[in-house]
Amino acid sequence: MPDRRPVRYELLARCGKARRGRLHTPHGTIETPAFMPVGTRATLKGLTPDQLAETGSEIVLANTYHLMLRPGGPVIEALGGLHTFMSWDRPVLTDSGGFQVFSLAELRRMGEDGVVFRSHLDGARIELTPEVSIRVQNELGADIIMAFDECPPLPGTPREVADAVRRTIRWAQRCQVAHANPRQALYGIVQGGLDLDLRRECFEALAALDFDGYAIGGLSVGEPPPAMWGLLDAFADDLPAERARYLMGVGTPRDLVECVATGIDQFDCVLPTRNGRKSYAFTSEGPLRMRNARHKLDRGPLDPACDCYTCRRFSRGYLRHLFLTGEVLGASLLSLHNVRFYQTLMASIRRAIEEDRFAAWRQAFLRTPAAGASEESA
């Protein structure tokens, strides 16, 4: 029987646990391991879709929570769905809305059915359940959508984390039942905090439900990075090998390298764009803060090793001028560069795995200034 899944993962090569693959979606193929920039409100802040494509990004993430509040799922559906809405005909992924409900909204009630919260915009009372999250994501029409999970409180007691895991499993099943569009892949989300046993319990139950892919949630939320790397090393490669593995909300350049080494295929993070807006640049020479006075008379490019529009066309002195005068072009140009920096890094990772030299490449990378934490993420 042919695989009729909307999204299919193809493994091309392995090097240790690191995987080189392809994700085939209704809007095209994504080379993995892949970094997915975050277009929260159906736009990568300050960049056109053409500029986003120029960074080498093959898929973009949008946030269900923000879009369900404004303009609303039915409006985006009426305007042709997310791809048409944002004029991006390549793959799109939406999250479930859960993470933002817990981090941005005022929670009113939480129960087995779902959550009731007040919108952070106007205080409106809104109910978000597995069924509502899937309905909105069906309206949005992304290629890959996420099951609605419970993010356990941080730090949580073992009991709270265990309860969240079991509820996440029950909700995942309800999401499968609610999911009404066979052209959209549905990923289950593995929760369990830093508890390896709970993580295993969660992903085994989800694997039994046979999702189109598996996301790992609830990490990079304040724990030391080595704790995350260690935990992933203990279980990520035990996830079903024939499906993609997506580590949500991660991370720094070093995180990407360390987590690819544990067998992760997909990442998303606001770091390159958020840092870019704040004048922080990732470069091959290490992180830079472009407001710094030492760039004032610098005619050189932001990163001599980078091939992006920003680095080809503008001096550090000009970029500093844009930030000091509050010109939004600075944020756009630095976001564009930072995303390109991430995509160049992912391309290097993919090549190293293909050529069966990822372990050596990783050790060499960790000695470069580029592996340094940015001032914002340190």
Please give the residue ranges that form the binding site for a second copy (CB under 8 A).
41-43, 45-50, 66, 70-71, 75, 78-80, 84-87, 296-297, 299, 309, 313-315, 317-318, 320-322, 324-325, 327-329, 331-333
Strand order in the sheet with 115-118: 106-110, 115-118, 125-128
In whole angstroms, how close is the CB of 63 to a second copy at the nearest point?
Answer: 11
Q: Say which residues have a Cβ less than 8 Å from residue 118's Cβ, sequence separation at least 6.
A: 105, 106, 108, 124, 125, 126
In whole angstroms, how close is the CB of 313 to a second copy at the nearest point?
Answer: 4
In whole angstroms, how close is the CB of 77 to a second copy at the nearest point?
Answer: 10
Give the ranges where 120-195 is alpha helix by DSSP (H): 130-140, 158-178
95 has catalytic annotation: yes
In whole angstroms, how close is the CB of 149 to a second copy at the nearest point?
Answer: 25
Catalytic residue among 149, 195, 237, 268: 268
β pairing state of 8-15 and 18-25: antiparallel
For a second copy, the closer of residues 124 and 208 by Cβ is 124
For a second copy, the closer of residues 169 and 322 by Cβ is 322
* 165/217 Cα distance (integer angstroms): 11
Contact between residue 263 and residue 239 where contact means Cβ atoms under 8 Å apart: yes
For a second copy, the closer of residues 50 and 112 by Cβ is 50
Query: In sequence order, what E strands does the chain have?
Result: 8-15, 18-25, 28-32, 34-37, 60-62, 92-94, 106-110, 115-118, 125-128, 144-146, 185-190, 213-216, 244-247, 266-269, 280-281, 288-289
Q: Would you call 61 exposed, middle or buried from its count of C-beta atoms within 10 A (0-12, 13-18, 19+)? A: buried
Which two structure tokens, joined as six digits, stand for 230?
Answer: 């260690």
Catalytic residue among 95, 195, 212, 303: 95
268 has catalytic annotation: yes
For a second copy, the closer of residues 137 and 332 by Cβ is 332
In whole angstroms, how close is the CB of 332 to a second copy at the nearest point?
Answer: 7
β pairing state of 213-216 and 244-247: parallel
For a second copy, the closer of residues 35 and 314 by Cβ is 314
- Buried/exposed code over 332-350 (b: 16+ C-beta within 10 A; e: otherwise): bbbbbbbbbbbbbbbeebb
Contact between residue 42 and residue 86 where contact means Cβ atoms under 8 Å apart: yes
For a second copy, the closer of residues 14 and 321 by Cβ is 321
Can the peptide bond before residue 251 be classed as cis, meaning omega within 30 degrees of 0?
Answer: yes
Catalytic residues: 95, 268
